[in-house]
Amino acid sequence: MLLNMNKLLVFTFCAVLLGCSGNKKKPVVNKPTVITRYDPSLVIAYYNVDSVQERFVAFKKENDQFKAKETAYQKELERMYQERNSFVTSNDQKAKAGQLSENQILEIQKRVQTMDQGIMNYEQTQGAKLDEEANSKFNVLAKKIEQLGKKYSELNKIDVLLIQGTQSPINYISPKMDVTKDFIEFLNKN
């Protein structure tokens, strides 16, 4: 019996060696399983974001307010540059005519540097403030549009509501899926 046990061990050992030697299997690559389905009742629609920006009353109101603030900012900046340039021009003429002492010229140069610094500070602080305010307000509007888009989709049994515009990744979508006009009316009512 011991002899049979030894034979069995030798046989098993050889089988394992043979199994490990020439028949190497390639490792199995786990590919993700993608489940696709076709649903003939799937409803896809889109709205044009440029049209929303033009005709959504809340967006137009915010945009008009922003443009007014931007115009005021630009006018103030132009006024500051004009004041600086007038100061430089008038004193440059006086210097060329020999009407200014060296001390006066140094004082004028310091004042021009102060004016330049004031302009730069205004551009940085007021420009950044204007940008921050615009981003904040338009982000709030974007969130409202997103929420109303969900509500609109639920009410109209739309499964996918896409946004089409100059920056959207949609190359083409059939015009029969365009709900822009109806969606804008919904936005303005809500």
Give the model's pLDDT for residue 141.
Answer: 92
* 61/97 Cα distance (integer angstroms): 54
* Whether pLDDT at 8 is above 70: no
Model's pTM, two decimal places? Answer: 0.63
Q: In this structure, how many other beta carbons lie within 10 angstroms of the beta carbon of residue 59?
A: 21
Question: Per mean pLDDT, which range of 53-57, 103-107, 168-172 is the poorest?
Answer: 168-172
Picking from 168, 163, 166, the residue whose alpha carbon sits closest to that of residue 180 is 163
* Whether pLDDT at 1 is above 60: no
The DSSP line for 14-41 is HHHHHHHHT-PPPPPP-PPPPP----TT
Give the model's pLDDT for residue 15.
Answer: 47
pLDDT tens digits along 117-175: 999 999 999 999 999 999 999 999 999 999 999 999 999 999 999 999 888 888 888 88
pLDDT category at 33 given cuts 50, 70, 90 is confident
Q: Is-contact 56 187, C-beta < 8 A?
A: yes
* Whether pLDDT at 75 is above 90: yes
